[in-house]
Structure 1
Amino acid sequence: YHFDGSQYGVDLSNYTCTCRKWELSGIPCKYAILAIFNQNEYSEDYIDDCHSVRAYKRVYASKIIPIGGENQWIETYFIPLLPPNYGRRSGKPSKARRRYPDKPMMKSKREKRSKAMKLKRQ
């Protein structure tokens, strides 16, 4: 099938496409969807079972037991972890832009350019 100026081979009976996205994800790629619609079939029939609502409900059918509140936690005797100190650094902040090491340095901070001026007599 041609799509966006490219050509890919789609085999609906083996659930494969030459772009290989269908085999990797289990969901038909855009080329496979085009082939399915050209055959007047439903794309839902070609999606892998692990992506169905039935499989989702089967996975989460067992009870999920919530964790108790902070007052039910077991007390440990380890030193409590603290977040790192990311305060302002001491000293004057650098104003110069950081340059790459292989880039040549300029001779001076500013180079003055002078222009020759022409004066007209009136």
Structure 2
Amino acid sequence: MLAIGTAFLVPSGPAEYLHLNIVGTAQIEPPDMRLLIPISSIKDGVFHDQTCVLDVGEHPFITKPSFVFYRHIQQRSATKISMCLENGDFIAKDSASEALIAKIIAGIPASNFTAPWVLNFFQN
């Protein structure tokens, strides 16, 4: 079972591009689905959502200032995520702390970039 806070790296773009994703919901309808919340590093001169900026060390994988990429929250099957973790497509990392999860979740309604369909999961 994929619990809230489960964290792993997902390839995005060239092979060396791996982004931290954190499971943000225990379960959504249909029951096998989870919301994945992506984290990205802040790059000089590139716009980023400032709703939830993460400092170095807030998660062991975060080694430079980063932000929660609310615009790119995705819905994915827990079964598929588990298969990708088992076969090495995704790389497991330490789970996010309760404090980090709370900080990230608090930013969902605050961000101007959170999609309406994502907000619906947290309003019910």
When normalised by structure 1's length, the TM-score is 0.19
Q: Which has the higher strand share?
A: 2
Larger radius of gyration: 1
When normalised by structure 2's length, the TM-score is 0.19
